[in-house]
Amino acid sequence: MSLNKILFEFEQNDTDINQNLENTLKKLIMFAPDIPHPGEGRTLARWKTLAKVGSTNLNLAKWFESHLDALSILNELNYSPVNNGLWAVWAAEGSQQPIYFRQGLCSGQKNWCSGAGLVDYGLLTYRDESDQSQLLIVDMHQPNIQIDHGGWHAVGMQHTRTASIAFNQVSAEIVGDSNAYLERPGFWHGAAGVAACWFGAAARLVDFLYQQCKTKPHAYALMYLGEMSTLLFTTKQYFHYVADQIDQHPAQSHELIIRILRAKVEQTAQAILEQVGKALGARPFCEDKIFAALAADLPVFLRQSHAAFDVERIGELVLQQSEGAAWML
């Protein structure tokens, strides 16, 4: 079954949304072995897949992107064999009971764990006694793991099954050297994949206006379509540029251009969220389940960006460019 067929069937299915998401995710992960890792010469193809899933449902895209990212991390760190099943990367820090690892066992709490209860294997970050970043593999089918969904009150992205997970002397396996997770080039390559999910959702929202303009063209609607098309076309071209740079120089992190890409996609998506509503009015927010879900989910997923902190870092990286102002033609 093709990717398009799987996503079409998801959209046509009117049964319980949670069951529909879970069943569709199981079908998607069958495609994972055929999806290229970043830097293998087909980075853009990977992002197109993520954008396509994001254009259908962002809860689904969140899970699938995390699964693909986990597989790429393990590949980059030369870990094998990789067990079959659903993987996730849980890297949020700041818990009042941070993860610690002693004699093959991990304890502590990890917050912001999407897919909790569905994931078979989690990649968890933690800080060791020397405050070095480390990465653990945890088989989630073990005792002494408690999943708490009680703190997740989101309306947008409400179906991601995001939870806090408490581990109490749970068997785990360390992966890679100290700081390998953060210092590998693929850390930033993977960050661009999240932006591809955002972009897919934003483009799909504009497609609703495009379809309306095809049948009922109106001057004001066409104006909004022109504005949003300009944003999408320029952002799309930057995806192509960044993918090409990663494929040509896979050993480099490309942090600056990827941070710029994420900022550009965020700006584009935020503008579209505002303008598409003005162009279409309230009807699709209330009567179209695909549009309504994307419009509710996208603002929440976008906050995986760190906004001003990310933009500040772009400024710092620009100042470090040896050739001076990097934006000159």
What is the per-residue pLDDT for 293? 98
- CA–CA gap between residue 214 and residue 231 (Å, rounded): 20
Rounded alpha-carbon distances, angstroms, from residue 187 to 83, 114, 197, 280: 22, 19, 17, 38
- CA–CA gap between residue 39 and residue 251 (Å, rounded): 8
pLDDT per residue over 83-126, tens digit each?
Answer: 999 999 999 988 889 999 999 999 999 999 999 999 999 999 99
Q: Which residues contact 276 (CB under 8 A, 6 or more apart)?
A: 205, 206, 208, 209, 224, 228, 295
Superfamily of chain region 1-77+184-321:
Butyryl-CoA Dehydrogenase, subunit A, domain 3 (1.20.140.10)
Question: Is 138 in contact with 169 (CB distance < 8 Å)?
Answer: no
Which tokens hold the place of 31?
């495609």
Rounded alpha-carbon distances, angstroms, from residue 66 to 123, 127, 169, 312, 319: 10, 21, 25, 26, 32
The 3-state secondary structure of the chain reads CCHHHHHHHHHHCCCCHHHHHHHHHHHHCCCHHHCCCCCCCCHHHHHHHHHHHHCCCHHHHHHHHHHHHHHHHHHHCCCCCCCCCCEEEECCCCCCCCCEEECCEEEEEEEEECCCCCCCEEEEEEECCCCCEEEEEEECCCCCEEEECCCCCCCCCCCCCCEEEEEEEEECEEECCCCHHHHCCHHHHHHHHHHHHHHHHHHHHHHHHHHHHHHCCCHHHHHHHHHHHHHHHHHHHHHHHHHHHHHHCCCCCCHHHHHHHHHHHHHHHHHHHHHHHHHHCCHHHHHCHHHHHHHHHHHHHHCCCCCHHHHHHHHHHHHCCCCCCCCCC
What is the per-residue pLDDT for 324? 62
Say how many Å lie between the first and final Cα of the chain, rounded: 46
Comparing 175 with 321, which gets the higher pLDDT?
A: 175
Query: What percent of the chain has pLDDT above 70?
Result: 98
Please report where in the chains the tokens 């693929």 appear, as a residue: 186
Q: Which phi-psi region, left, alpha or beta, contains residue 254 (left: φ > 0; alpha: ψ -120 to 50)?
A: left
CA 39 to chain centre: 18
Which tokens hold the place of 4?
């398009």
pLDDT per residue over 266-307, tens digit each?
Answer: 999 999 999 999 999 999 999 999 999 999 999 999 999 988
Residue 100: strand pairing partners? 107
Domain coordinates in residue numbering, the chain: 1-77+184-321, 87-178
For 87-178, the fitting CATH number among 3.30.420.270, 2.160.10.10, 2.40.110.10, 3.30.450.20 is 2.40.110.10
pTM of the model: 0.96
pLDDT per residue over 220-278, tens digit each?
Answer: 999 999 999 999 999 999 999 999 999 999 999 999 999 999 999 999 999 999 999 99
pLDDT per residue over 28-45, tens digit each?
Answer: 999 999 999 999 999 999
Question: Is 53 in contact with 200 (CB distance < 8 Å)?
Answer: yes
Mean pLDDT rounded to a whole number for the chain: 95
